[in-house]
A and B are shown apart, each in its own frame.
Chain A
Amino acid sequence: MQSVLEEARKHEAKKVKEVSLVVGNLTFLGLEQVRFAYEILTKDTIMEGSNLLIKESEGIVKCNSCGYEGDFKYEDNPQYHLPMPTLHCPKCGGVVKIVGGKECIIESVKLVIK
């Protein structure tokens, strides 16, 4: 909110119309909670009633051995409720590094200028 309001001040905006967020799905942000908090926190500010768009970005891993870049390899044990993501490369079995999905970015804002 601070970043958005700061930007609004810079542009002498009278209202914030829309905020676009990108939330990596490897963050521990619950989108429902983010929306709920947004509604409450923006009350009585020029952000009140603005539209909050949230795009989720996927977790991306990269393999140093074979160059694979993409989704995790999942361990699918039927005993578990969800397949478990692992740091094994789905292509060559090497060890991968997480390169995406840990971000939370304000992509853009729509402002109503005076």
Chain B
Amino acid sequence: MPAAPRLKDVVRAEEGEIYDIELSTDLLKANQLLAEENKQFLHEYGVKAIDVMGSIGSGKTSLIEKLVELLKNHYGIAVFKGDLTTTIDAELIARHGVQVVAINTGKECHLDANLVGKALKKLDMSKIQLLFIENVGNLICPAEFSLGSDKRVVVISVTEGPYMVVKHPFIFMDADVVVVNKIDLAQAMGVDVKQLEKDAKTVNPKARVVATNCRSGEGVEKAAEALGLLQLRG
């Protein structure tokens, strides 16, 4: 009896025979590869990209608006604004005179590298050095999809209660900077900002944690510094 053929050599097998085939296909790799492409593309143009993630209504847009105000004389800035629908926030940011591309995901709860890649094609890359990518408000899914950014920020606010970090530890593990926003409301909410900061530090000792009030602008400069944006602008 001839030796059994090796799996890969099989062309025709016998009727009804079952074959076991090793695949090792990583299904999440596709996004990873696209993210790498985005990163390379951005680096070719010398653009620093910051992925701003965070809960719904935590102040991601306000933080970006304040950072844009602070930095727009020093950088050419563009903003990608991820939302399920509407361009309300995109228009808010556009008032500051920077390039804005609204990314409407329709039903998806996060941005992915493919959508960001598409949006990159709409930018005049020669005019920018800094790109903010505002993710869809969500503390869960965005953690799974890297976009090709250099830094990731997670924004939470005291109005979401005292347990935002402990309930979603994984997104904080991906963060370079954690922003705790709306600290002016901490007392009214009965939320201890220090405890939130401590939780973030416990989950991710590498992350810089900054407390802000993005309405008044308190702490925004610190956030910019934590993101490495003040050193660069000189």
Taking the nearest CB of chain A, how far is it from the CB of B36, in angstroms?
A: 15
Q: How far is the CA of A3 from the CA of B16 in the complex (A)?
A: 22
Taking the nearest CB of chain A, how far is it from the CB of B41, in angstroms?
A: 24
A36 within 8 A of B: no
B143 — which chain A residues lie within 8 A by C-beta? 28
A55 within 8 A of B: no
B206 — which chain A residues lie within 8 A by C-beta? 87, 95
Given contacts A28-B144, A86-B203, contact A111 B27 (CB under 8 A): no
Size of interface on B: residues with Cβ below 8 Å to A: 33
Taking the nearest CB of chain A, how far is it from the CB of B77, in angstroms?
A: 31
B20 within 8 A of A: yes
Size of interface on A: residues with Cβ below 8 Å to B: 33
B26 within 8 A of A: yes
B169 touches A84 (CB 8 A): yes
- Per-residue 0/1 for A93-105: is the Cβ within 8 Å of any B Cβ (1 yes, 0 no)? 0010010001111
A-B contact pairs, 20 of them (CB 8 A): A7-B21, A11-B21, A13-B19, A28-B140, A28-B141, A80-B166, A85-B169, A85-B173, A86-B205, A87-B173, A87-B206, A95-B206, A102-B144, A103-B26, A103-B28, A104-B27, A108-B20, A110-B19, A110-B20, A113-B18
Q: Which 10 A-B pairs have the closest CB atoms?
A: A113-B13, A104-B27, A106-B25, A106-B23, A3-B25, A111-B19, A108-B22, A104-B28, A105-B26, A87-B204
Binding site for A on B (CB under 8 A): 10, 12-28, 140-141, 143-144, 163, 166, 169-170, 173, 199, 202-206
